[in-house]
Amino acid sequence: MTRTPTGDLIRPNRKTNGVGVQAEDTRICVVMVGLPARGKSLIAQKVTRYLHWLSIPSKIFNVGQYRRSETPAPSASFFATSNPEGERLRRAAAEAAVNDMIKWFQRGAGLIAILDATNSTKERRRWIQNRCAAEGIQTMFVESKCDDPDLIMSNIREVKATSPDYKGQDPEVAAQDFLARIQNYEKVYETIDEDELDLTYVKLIDVGQRVIINQIKDYLQSRVVYYLMNLHIKPRSIWLSRHGESTFNLEGKIGGDADISERGEAYARSLPDLVRRCGDGRKLTVWTSTLKRTIQTARFLTFEKLEWKALDELDSGVCDGLTYADIEEQYPEDFKARDEDKYNYRYLGGESYRDVVIRLEPIIMELERSENILIVTHQAILRCIYAYFMNVAQEKSPWMEVPLHTLIKLTPKAYSTHEERLKADIPAVSTWRGKGSSAKHAEPTDEERNSMGKNVGSGH
């Protein structure tokens, strides 16, 4: 829910995607281009995840998945130019993917589709462009070019050797077969060049070391380009932690700029050891909000520290400093409305989760540019960042439990993000409240506040 300037509750316009773009006015097919093992599928997955996070409905149509329905585990010879049956089946798979994509657009299911395949010839790219143009669908080609043999081989071993095409095979044998597959594609591969200047395209060269942009035309295309220009696929991890338990946590209050409690202080002192246990000896940069409880929690870490206003907790407006019982009593309609649509509900004079996502976008871009970052921030902020990396649906993200005194390590992989959690042996109240639960049962009792176990409190 959001509010008018007079404070009246209104529902978001369901005809838009949350950023003011009318669904019926925008249909874009992002066409991946590149030799195998150049990170195309990784880029496609990342772009789709980013778009979902921004409330822009999108979907990947992977031609390889269509091909596997007929040829689940082909050898490299299937992709040879001298194999007409292989060529027929690959063409049929591409046609099936494009046909399903067009039907998806016709149903009004989304705004951006990503066609994930090599699309390695000018003839194939022109065919896709003509099919889309006939349906009123814009095309935007994204070519990933990379000649670094170490990066290519790393991608082969990490991704392709565990592909469904090589299920159950020896990884070394699979890698060699995939190298032979690449050689078959190289015989016919045509990079995007001056003959295709009428096309809208982005060329990412050597994992984004150079970016060439041509004929970008509208807002959503620009958003995709902005994201692509900030990507890198080098190995890295992101560490996430809430601040140590605060005095407001103990009192069941939300917002504010409280100090950490005695147990929060103990967590701050234990955090360097937690990081050492899962940090692999890497040099990290620590990001905190500008609020005291995050700065106090991070002060024993010996790494470089940066404070970000964008990492401050969700602004609870007139409810700042209140308990949920106070809110339920003083603003009963608001309390109910937030339970009904927590992602879109905006506190009077404050923010919604949707607002937080918008202000966190520069943080996400900086995270994509960076390598190893430790973020010490707040519950609502971590929910939004975690939802981005783990592709959590918007309606679920505000209800996720992100406990105090727990370090979360996220390691992005090609098709997913690996998660590890290390919990400090230091108790804290729980600030999680389930949907529909009464605020009266969300406040910690005196006994719970003094308990050394996991307790029940309240929070954003």
pLDDT digits (tens, 9 = 90+) for 86-106: 999 999 999 999 999 999 999
pLDDT at 416 over 90: no
pLDDT at 447 over 70: no
Is position 243 annotated as part of the catalytic site? Answer: yes
pLDDT for 3 equals: 47
Asked if residue 41 lies in contact with residue 1, where contact means CB atoms within 8 angstroms, the answer is no
Domain membership of residue 341 as a residue range: 235-456
Residue 200, SS3?
coil
Asked if the structure places residue 7 within a domain, the reply is no
> Out of 116, 143, 196, 443, which one is annotated catalytic?
116
Flag whether 290 is marked binding. Answer: no
* Residues β-bridged to residue 145: 205
* Residues β-bridged to residue 372: 237
Flag whether 245 is marked binding. Answer: yes
* Residues β-bridged to residue 302: none
Higher pLDDT, residue 158 or 392: 392
Is position 419 annotated as part of the catalytic site? Answer: no
Asked if residue 398 lies in contact with residue 342, where contact means CB atoms within 8 angstroms, the answer is yes
The mean pLDDT value of the chain amounts to: 87
pLDDT for 98 equals: 98
> Out of 143, 196, 243, 341, which one is annotated catalytic?
243
Of 156, 72, 64, 82, nearest to 118 by C-alpha is 64
> Out of 177, 251, 313, 334, which one is annotated catalytic?
313
Q: Specify the pairing of strand 28-33 against strand 138-145.
A: parallel
Report in angstroms the alpha-carbon separations of 326 from 253, 320, 331, 435, 458: 9, 11, 8, 17, 12
Considering the domain architecture, whether residues 307 and 356 belong to the same structural domain is answered as yes
Flag whether 105 is marked binding. Answer: no
Assign 81 a pLDDT band (cuts: 50, 70, 90). confident
Considering the domain architecture, whether residues 217 and 322 belong to the same structural domain is answered as no
Is position 307 annotated as part of the catalytic site? Answer: no
User: Which domain CATH number covers 213?
Assistant: 3.40.50.300
Flag whether 243 is marked binding. Answer: yes
Quick: pLDDT tens for 269-282. 999 999 999 877 78
Considering the domain architecture, whether residues 51 and 71 belong to the same structural domain is answered as yes
Considering the domain architecture, whether residues 244 and 95 belong to the same structural domain is answered as no
pLDDT at 362 over 60: yes
Quick: pLDDT tens for 324-340. 999 999 999 999 999 99
The CA distance from 148 to 124, in Å, is 26
Flag whether 79 is marked binding. Answer: no
User: Which domain CATH number covers 254?
Assistant: 3.40.50.1240
Q: Which residues contact 438 (CB under 8 A, 6 or more apart)?
A: 328
Considering the domain architecture, whether residues 83 and 206 belong to the same structural domain is answered as yes
Assign 110 a pLDDT band (cuts: 50, 70, 90). very high
pLDDT for 168 equals: 83
pLDDT at 454 over 80: no
Flag whether 244 is marked binding. Answer: yes
Considering the domain architecture, whether residues 290 and 220 belong to the same structural domain is answered as no
Residue positions counted in the chain: 460
Work out the average pLDDT over 356-361: 96
For tokens 């990396």, what's the residue?
A: 389
Work out the average pLDDT over 343-351: 96
Q: For residue 13, how many other CB atoms are within 10 A of its CB?
A: 11
Asked if residue 455 lies in contact with residue 429, where contact means CB atoms within 8 angstroms, the answer is yes
